[in-house]
């Protein structure tokens, strides 16, 4: 077991790669009574085309299968796994993102029993045609629930606009039609390909004795038999830099229109420290340009063009990335224009220097220090960083070192009118007719 010290943060991280390839990280936090454990596979909604383990031909599986698999992991021959966690007072959950599927629990007691439950249920699949069929009703309702959420539709509509080929544009849960095609065999194929320990990471944080926990996990994994690790063969798609659809609109039963300007990332090939530096640089640039202390914000806030729903964000993974800026607004076109003006002006003449950068760097450092109080944040984010060969605890030192040149260079990869798209949600009956509008899904 290795230890990694983060002196300035007063944290010690324990790490070991087990014989079966599983990465295990343990971070004790003093003063906490709960322990939070996440068990994550590097497998998400975008992994739809791949060569199944032990085969030679690539297949494409039905949309929404990673999420479906996540649901089905909880049902076993002897019942529902939630029951087992419940007996020990542990709260269990799981989520599927574009790139990851995570299983997790938090507990203040019976830590080892619940850790065992977690390891066992994720490593012992049990799927039958009957249980798969039953789940279709439940997930169908989950999809319908998201269909009625304007903010989700806005977010996904923008992503759909941006991408031509990349499967990030497919809704994580799939559609009612696509999940109808899912069979138990599909689930086993995906499970066998993506749930090998060498594709997974276990993170334990909070009230925990690192040596004892590592021994426990090591022994548990040594008792189980796994195939030799084989590299996973995902089928990559070629995605152009420009967006697929420049603008589209959806009508929903809302009172106030909503809009997002999406900017597709050009640089999506980085990993490790270079990726961390790039990602933080872009976030800092957005903070200066679109943050609540920016001239832009003051102007649109005072003109009533945005309200408290205003937000901006940048996401980056290997193969795709995007910045999103948006708000509920009664002045969708004016807001879009204001956002596009900032982007345009930034391209023509770089608008800020060291003072502004220094200020947002301070803010960002404060953000990370606050976030390090949350063991859920650490566990989730640490895993995301690790899957991209980055280290969460490098963020603060990397921010401290960033220069204006770094920020300028990184932001240049977002600059280009062809990388921008607009998605609007308008109240039913108010739909603005424009020639390039894509029809909504209803």
Partner 1 sequence: MFQTIQVAKGVNIHTRTTDQFKTVNFSVKFKRPLTVEDASERTVLTNVLQHSSAKYPSTAAMRMYLDDLYGTVLYFDTTKRGDEHTVLLNVETVNDQYLKNGEVLGKVLELMNTVLFEPNFDNGVFRENIVAREKEMVIERIQSVFDDKSRYAQQKLLNIMRPNHPASISANGTIEDVKKVTPTSLVKTYEEMLADDLIDIYVVGDIDEKTIVESLKKALPFADRTVEHATNPTVESKPTETFVSEQQDMKQGKLHIGYHTPVTFTHPDFPKMQIFNGVFGGYPHAKLFMNVREKESMAYYCSSSYSAQYGLVFVISGIDANKEKKAISLIDEQLVAIQKGDITDLELAQTKAMLTNQIKEALDSARGQIEIYDQYKDLPTEFSVENMAAKWQAVTKEDVVNMAKQVEKETVYFLRGKEDAAE
Token code pair at residue 267: 């640089």
Does residue 255 touch partner 1 according to CB under 8 A? Answer: yes
**3-state SS class at 106:** strand
Query: Among residues 80 and 227, whose Cβ is nearest to partner 1?
Result: 80
In the list 1, 4, 145, 222, the residue contacting partner 1 (rule: CB under 8 A) is 145
In the list 1, 292, 337, 418, the residue contacting partner 1 (rule: CB under 8 A) is 292
Does residue 124 touch partner 1 according to CB under 8 A? Answer: no
Does residue 381 touch partner 1 according to CB under 8 A? Answer: no
Long-range contact pairs involving 118-122 (C-beta distance under 8 Å, separation at least 24): 118/37, 118/39, 118/92, 119/39, 119/202, 119/217, 119/220, 119/221, 121/73, 121/74, 121/76, 121/81, 121/84, 122/39, 122/73, 122/195
In the list 128, 144, 345, 430, the residue contacting partner 1 (rule: CB under 8 A) is 144
Provide, rounded to whole angstroms, the least separation between the CB of residue 284 and partner 1: 11
Positive or negative torsion for Cα 32, 37, 43, 45: negative
Does residue 201 touch partner 1 according to CB under 8 A? Answer: no
Q: Which part of the chain contacts partner 1 (CB under 8 A), choosing from 232-240, 265-273, 300-308, 386-394?
A: 300-308
Does residue 22 touch partner 1 according to CB under 8 A? Answer: no
Does residue 230 touch partner 1 according to CB under 8 A? Answer: no
Does residue 8 touch partner 1 according to CB under 8 A? Answer: yes
- # residues contacting partner 1 (CB under 8 A): 74
Does residue 135 touch partner 1 according to CB under 8 A? Answer: yes
Does residue 397 touch partner 1 according to CB under 8 A? Answer: no
Q: Which part of the chain contacts partner 1 (CB under 8 A), choosing from 37-45, 52-60, 186-194, 303-311?
A: 303-311
User: Whole-angstrom Cα distance, residue 227 to residue 337?
Assistant: 56
Token code pair at residue 170: 């497919």
Longest dimension (CA), the chain: 65
CA–chain centroid gap for 304, Å, is 31
Query: Among residues 231 and 429, whose Cβ is nearest to partner 1?
Result: 429
Q: How far apart are the first and last CA of the chain?
A: 55
Residues in region 399-428 near partner 1 by CB under 8 A: 400, 428
Query: Among residues 139 and 324, whose Cβ is nearest to partner 1?
Result: 139
Q: Which part of the chain contacts partner 1 (CB under 8 A), choosing from 27-35, 48-56, 195-203, 261-269?
A: 27-35
Does residue 148 touch partner 1 according to CB under 8 A? Answer: yes
User: Whole-angstrom Cα distance, residue 226 to residue 245?
Assistant: 45
Residues in region 314-333 near partner 1 by CB under 8 A: 328
Cβ count within 10 A of residue 279: 24
Pick from 157, 245, 229, 158: which is nearest to 197 by CA? 229
In the list 16, 147, 242, 313, the residue contacting partner 1 (rule: CB under 8 A) is 147
Provide, rounded to whole angstroms, the least separation between the CB of residue 5 and partner 1: 15
Pick from 21, 43, 65: which is nearest to 202 by CA? 21
Query: Among residues 61 and 375, whose Cβ is nearest to partner 1?
Result: 375
Does residue 82 touch partner 1 according to CB under 8 A? Answer: yes
CB–CB of 180/132 below 8 Å? no
Residues in region 258-287 near partner 1 by CB under 8 A: none
- Known catalytic residue at 251: no
What is the DSSP track for 171-201?
-TT--HHHHHT--HHHHHHHHHHH-SGGGEE
Q: Which part of the chain contacts partner 1 (CB under 8 A), choosing from 38-46, 61-69, 217-225, 290-298?
A: 290-298
Pick from 252, 428, 431, 243: which is nearest to 332 by CA? 431
Question: Which helix (H) or strand (E) element contains residue 40?
Answer: strand 35-41
In the list 77, 78, 223, 302, the residue contacting partner 1 (rule: CB under 8 A) is 302
Does residue 136 touch partner 1 according to CB under 8 A? Answer: yes
Q: Which part of the chain contacts partner 1 (CB under 8 A), choosing from 2-10, 218-226, 237-245, 411-419?
A: 2-10
Does residue 88 touch partner 1 according to CB under 8 A? Answer: yes
CB–CB of 276/228 below 8 Å? no
User: Whole-angstrom Cα distance, residue 22 to residue 19?
Assistant: 7
Pick from 52, 42, 77: which is nearest to 187 by CA? 52
Query: Among residues 135 and 279, whose Cβ is nearest to partner 1?
Result: 135
Catalytic residue among 55, 70, 279, 442: 70
Residues in region 42-81 near partner 1 by CB under 8 A: 80
Does residue 91 touch partner 1 according to CB under 8 A? Answer: yes
The residues annotated as belonging to the active site are 70
């Amino acid at each position: 077991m290795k230890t990694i010290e983060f002196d300035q943060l007063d944290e010690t991280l324990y790490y070991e790669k087990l014989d079966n390839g599983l990465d295990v990280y343990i971070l004790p936090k003093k003063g906490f009574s709960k322990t939070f454990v996440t068990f994550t596979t590097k497998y998400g909604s975008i992994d739809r085309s791949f060569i199944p383990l032990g085969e030679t031909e690539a297949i494409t599986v039905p949309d929404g299968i990673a999420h479906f698999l996540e649901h089905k992991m909880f049902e076993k021959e002897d019942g529902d796994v939630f029951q087992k966690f419940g007996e020990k007072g542990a709260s269990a959950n799981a989520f599927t993102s574009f790139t990851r599927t995570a299983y997790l629990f938090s507990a203040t007691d019976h830590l080892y029993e619940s850790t065992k439950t977690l390891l066992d249920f994720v490593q012992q699949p049990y799927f039958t045609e009957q249980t798969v069929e039953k789940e279709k009703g439940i997930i169908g309702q989950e999809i319908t629930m998201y269909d009625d959420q304007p903010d989700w539709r806005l977010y996904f509509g923008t992503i759909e606009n941006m991408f031509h080929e990349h499967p990030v544009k497919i809704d994580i849960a799939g559609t009612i039609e696509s999940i109808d095609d899912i069979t138990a065999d599909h689930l086993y194929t995906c499970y066998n390909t993506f749930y090998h320990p060498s594709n997974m990471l276990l993170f334990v944080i909070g009230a925990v004795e690192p040596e004892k926990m590592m021994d426990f996990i090591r022994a548990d994994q040594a008792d189980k038999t796994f195939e030799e690790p084989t590299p996973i063969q995902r089928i990559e798609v070629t995605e152009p830099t420009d967006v697929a659809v420049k603008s589209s609109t959806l009508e929903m039963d809302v009172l106030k229109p909503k809009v997002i300007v999406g900017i597709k990332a050009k640089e999506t090939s980085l990993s490790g420290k270079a990726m961390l530096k790039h990602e933080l640089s872009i976030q800092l640039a957005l903070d200066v340009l679109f943050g609540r202390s920016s001239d832009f914000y003051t102007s649109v806030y005072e003109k009533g063009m945005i309200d408290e729903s205003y937000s901006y964000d940048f996401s980056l993974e290997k193969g795709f990335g995007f910045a999103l800026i948006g708000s509920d607004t009664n002045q969708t076109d004016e807001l879009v224009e204001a956002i596009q003006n900032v982007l345009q002006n930034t391209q023509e003449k770089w608008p800020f220097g060291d003072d502004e950068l220094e200020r947002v760097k301070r803010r960002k450092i404060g953000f990370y220090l606050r976030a390090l109080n949350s063991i859920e944040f650490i566990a989730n984010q640490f895993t995301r960083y690790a899957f991209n060969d980055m280290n969460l605890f490098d963020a603060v030192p990397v921010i401290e070192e960033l220069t204006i040149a770094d920020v300028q260079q990184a932001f240049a990869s977002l600059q280009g009118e062809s990388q921008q798209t607009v998605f609007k949600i308008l109240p039913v009956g108010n739909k603005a007719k424009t020639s390039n509008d894509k029809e909504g899904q209803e």
